Structure 1
């Protein structure tokens, strides 16, 4: 999910301040340490263990029935999930808890744009899963997915969940009303380039149904375009290069031009308004990494079935998002947590997850299992082939320590352009300041 993933955050409650006696303060602190958000405790005396899993966006485990299946296979285990839809909020909260050493779950999700921070700066905060036997799983994962979560000294700090091969999702009913073709192969030919996609957007705008625009936000356009590049924000030497990357400038220019042409619904991704827009028909297309399929289904609901379809992405293959599952050093049940992570990321579960919610596997065995998958919700689209082909052709991206921070600053600046009318030059200057602050 996704990313490059998703809106109304659930946040742990903040600590209360009260003037009480010193003994009461000490007691309250002890209780909070034991019961903090994400903590995991065995029920006393009954041999049962509650494993906590703290995630962001939509990983789909609960929705696909995987937790229930695992609990059935392991009668002594109960799984409790908490989640924060906005990954930025999730990461900030996780950093606070890592620094304090308390309130951490047994299993924590890590977005791909953060994994370099974990391997290079926080390896002492997470368990080396190699110590639990994870090394024997290496052959089951795509090389790029495995290596990204391995530190220079060989520690395995997470197991890969999904990846984010990209396509374009679109509303066939809205296309028909605007007089545009709806066949996925015909559209893939018409928008084989981003210029073609934006030109078709202008045609749509001229005859669009009332209240509908071409795409959700120019931030999503930028993100999917830059996801087609091997080097984005850092080069292979770890040098921050975003300011002089011509591919980034092209993506920025395309996004700001789309804003100027009025092709966007001006919606901040993951916001409540963006969520509501899926069912309201507020936009006709959305750049669509595989994990977005489950999100669309969740927001558009049963009424959206058969109205959506999927076509090949303009401009070639790319990747947006993907995640890892890690076990913090402060986890209460490390061995049991590893066993759960191992099971959730196994080929059988990754294949099942893709078929049920659309999260594309990082397991090579699972990729082979889903090659023939189709999705009736998306007009029977051959999702196994579309996303499988995209995954094979996608570049292996260079990841830097502050990859996600840089990306967030740029998409925030693009939001200023489309929602506030800020000039692209001023917004870019704001993005540069934000990057400087975020990267230290």
Structure 2
């Protein structure tokens, strides 16, 4: 381990002590988790569309415990809420969805989280092995049980493709773009025929391309040194995003912004990158009036994984055992299949991936696309990339702003890259 890495770990240790000190005085009733009393209510914090609406109602009937499901649409609004609750020692839910970038960051202070292993037993054989292992903190505690992974596809508006004279059947659409270069050419053809943007943003390719570099280091090396300016995977993603911008086929919309959400319904763009969990978001943003207009095709490059989460219990919850039981229910095979059918999060439970209810499932909203087969065929091939502790911060606060600056003509290519590498060093420090 390098000197700089050791210094950063020392800083993290000091910061962890400070946060724990604040948390310790923030809630004097945490001992309630050991009373063994059945709670009247459990609170669950999620972001996006986790697919839990019907499941929590089922659990309420089964357990007699009221479940309050608090959903936040935007991940960049969700993370500060969790960090604030941990820092102050109050306000956290009993069960929290931990997106992969958030989980990696919070692993620096695992004492804020309940070790689920003594409460749920050995679940290592129930899930994709690499996904289960990533739910562990450096001290070995099981911070979370896996929910989903984000096998990649491309969501497209078949009605807009038809109007542009392009194929509309999903197999023929996927055949248009076996490579990203061919994807861009399709976008040029679409714009030439319609005068409209093809994709939402140049950043739509960033996650897809980065996570198609199987097993690669991204913003950090294995010793947690920031290598954003040296990573071949990051450079490949950058170059692809720049190529999208140079082609002039993007709507130049910031992902997760109100304009982006409205663009689905308004037909501002015809395609976007779709990890499996994005299906529920596309449907929610597009509304019932656009049912049957969206479809799903293969992603350029053929595979990849973007995103995924775990469910954990913060120590400040007063109901550790009951919260862990709820997590077991939501992440078991039946729960994961139900969540997938509701909103698209792709199962990580091995029995769920083999369940005919999953493998044969078709999504009515997406023109009866066989989403179980499309996403399920690639999930067992996923090789995880190494993300590091502040991956999300580097991506959202360094990489994407620099690309948007170039896309909008606010910075040259060289200046945008310089901005990214400078901000990555700042955002990635810990």
* Fold shared by both chains (TM-score > 0.5): yes
Selected match of 1:437 from 422, 426, 429 = 426
Distance 2:341 2:121 in 1: 26
Stretches of structure 2 lacking an aligned partner (at least 5 in a row): 1-25
Residues 120-148 of structure 1 show CA distances to partners (whole Å, capped at 9, x for unaligned) of x111110000121332x221110111000
2:39, 2:244 → 1: CA distance? 55
Counterpart Cα distance in 1 of 2:99 and 2:260 = 21
- Answering whether residue 215 of structure 2 is matched by residue 221 of structure 1, we say no
Aligned residue number for residue 22 of structure 1: none
Give me the TM-score of the superposition, normalised by structure 2. Answer: 0.87
Which residue matches 1:411?
400
Residue among 310, 315, 320 paired with 2:306: 320
Query: Secondary structure of the equivalent of 1:299?
Result: helix
Instruction: Tell me the CA shift for residue 307 of structure 1.
Output: 0.9
Measured after TM superposition, the shift of residue 104 of structure 1 is 1.3
Cα distance per residue 1:364-413 (max 9 Å; x no partner): 11111111111121112111111012212332222311221222120122
Deviations 1:252-296 (A, max 9, x none): 122122112221111111111111111101111111000111111
**Residue 360 of structure 2 is aligned to residue 376 of structure 1:** no
Q: Distance in 1 between matches of 2:421 and 2:234?
A: 13
Structure-2 change in CA distance of 1:287 and 1:101 (3 Å): same
- The CA deviation at 1:152 is 3.6
Report what 1:164 is aligned to. 150
Deviations along 1:290-342, one digit per CA (max 9) or x if unpaired, are: 01111111111111111111111101211111011110111121111111111
The more displaced of 182-191 and 317-326 is 182-191
Please, which of 94, 97, 112 is the counterpart of residue 100 of structure 2? 112
Q: How does 1:59-74 map to 2 (within 5 A)?
A: 59-62=50-53, 65-74=54-63
**Displacement of 1:149 after TM fit?**
1.0
RMSD: 2.2
Partner of 1:295: 281
Contact persistence 2:39–2:319 (CA under 8 A): no
Q: Deviations for 1:181-218, whole angstroms, at most 9, x for unmatched residues? A: 1122222222000001001110001012x6x3110111
Shift of 1:81: 2.1
- 5 Å-filtered alignment, 1:13-28, equals none
> 1 CA distance for matches of 2:182 and 2:316?
51
> Any idea what the Cα deviations from partners look like across 1:82-128, whole Å, max 9, x if unmatched?
23322223222322221221221111111112222233x11111000
* SS of structure 1 residue aligned to 2:352: helix
Checking the alignment, whether the CA contact within 8 Å between 2:27 and 2:89 is kept in structure 1 is no
SS in 2 for 1:167: strand
Count of residue pairs the alignment pairs up: 396
Equivalence for 1:29: none
TM-score (norm 1): 0.85
In the alignment, the residues of structure 1 paired with residue 72 and residue 343 of structure 2 have an alpha-carbon distance, to the nearest angstrom, of 18
Specify the alignment match of 1:95 in structure 2: 83
Contact 1:351/1:361, CA 8 A, preserved across alignment: yes
1:31-430 matched pairs, under 5 angstroms: 49-62=40-53, 65-75=54-64, 77-119=65-107, 121-135=108-122, 137-208=123-194, 212-229=196-213, 230-231=215-216, 232-369=218-355, 370-408=358-396, 409-419=398-408, 421-430=410-419
Give the distance between the partners of 2:86 and 2:410, measured in 1 at CA.
38
